[in-house]
Amino acid sequence: MNKDLLRMDDLSKDEILDILNLADQLKYEQKHGIEHHLLKGKSLGMIFEKASTRTRVSFEVGMYQLGGHPLFLSSKDLQIGRGEPIQDTARVLSRYLDGIMIRTFSQNEIETLAECSSIPIINGLTDDEHPCQVLADLMTIREKKLILEGLKIAYIGDGNNMCNSLIVGCLTLGMNVAIANPIGYKPPKYYIEKGISLAEENGVSFEMTEDPSEAIKKADVIITDVWASMGQETEAKKRQIAFKGYQVNSEIMKLANNDAIVLHCLPAHREEEITEEVLEAHADEIFEEAENRLHAQKAVLVKLLS
């Protein structure tokens, strides 16, 4: 495994499966009260330039359960909030900490941080990627479906960081992927080309469409996300118009397989990208997915920091 986890394509198929297997083991041990202080004496700096519920709590609790020390670092508390170059922050923190998790806007910032750091860097979310969330999604899908290879995943919504990381992660594991986005809200060219390449390499399908009904046909897993992510609040009204018809509701769910599951990375805007009815019908899966952030990230921490 690479020193860092910056993007989903940092991980091979075997590395993703290794992380999922370790996450399953750590989840079992935690549920049965078995301590696993695999990172005793280790410190993780957690830099937040974006607000967070699940990322902060899951990393903080996970590091504690592994016997290590989590350190919350708001950009307001660090000199980077006052203009210190990320290169200097990286070289200083590398001398204090054993690893850094950062939740920020720019993928370039996290790439620069990794370049200048001598310790592992974990992407807790950028505008381009959300690898830790997708690892938790894959863990949840495997728990609910028992397999990954050959399943059909339908993603309906914005071509955002979740969409990007899902394309890479799911196709790498031999899953069929269908993406439905409105015109103007497709994933970046890099991820479309990467998706085509991975689909050919693994003998699976990768479909891009503007029709949610087409994407969701015979799907085993339906995934959606908010229409306006953090930093896009000023676009909210414009996006509500563009995404009309991209709601996961009971009508469109009839086109999926009868035993299809629904995932959402949360927070959810009920009656926008997903109805209250569908969210509550699939709450077991969605909140198990949220819990699995803890276990999947613990596995990543062990792989990178131990």
Question: Annotated binding site for L-ornithine: which residue ranges?
Answer: 161, 225, 229-230
Phi, psi of 304 (to 5 degrees): -90, -35
Q: Is 98 a residue of the active site?
A: no
Whether residue 102 contacts residue 121, with contact meaning beta carbons closer than 8 Å, is answered with yes
CA distance 191 to 294: 27
Q: Hey, what are 273's tokens? A: 């990208």
Binding residues: 52-55, 79, 103, 130-133, 161, 225, 229-230, 265-266, 293
Q: How many residues does the chain have?
A: 306
Q: Which of 65, 128, 133, 295 is catalytic?
A: 133
188: preceding bond cis by omega (within 30 degrees): no
30 is catalytic: no
The residue type found at 256 is: A
As given in the structure block, the two tokens for residue 2 are 């690479």
Which entry of 7, 103, 239, 264 is annotated as an active-site residue? 103
Q: How far apart are CA 159 and CA 133, in angstroms?
A: 15
Judging by beta carbons within 10 Å of its beta carbon (0-12, 13-18, 19+), is residue 280 exposed, middle or buried? Answer: exposed
133 is catalytic: yes
Q: Which of 7, 130, 264, 295 does the annotation list as catalytic?
A: 130
Catalytic residue (choose from 65, 220, 225, 295): 225
Q: Is 265 a catalytic residue?
A: yes
Binding-site residues for carbamoyl phosphate sit at: 52-55, 79, 103, 130-133, 265-266, 293
220 is catalytic: no
* Residue 103 among the catalytic residues: yes
Query: Looking at 7, 264, 293, 295, which residue is catalytic?
Result: 293
Choosing from 265, 282, 295, 297, which is the catalytic residue? 265
CA dihedral of 60, 66, 67, 71, whole degrees rounded to 10: -20
Q: Could you list the active site residues?
A: 103, 130, 133, 225, 265, 293
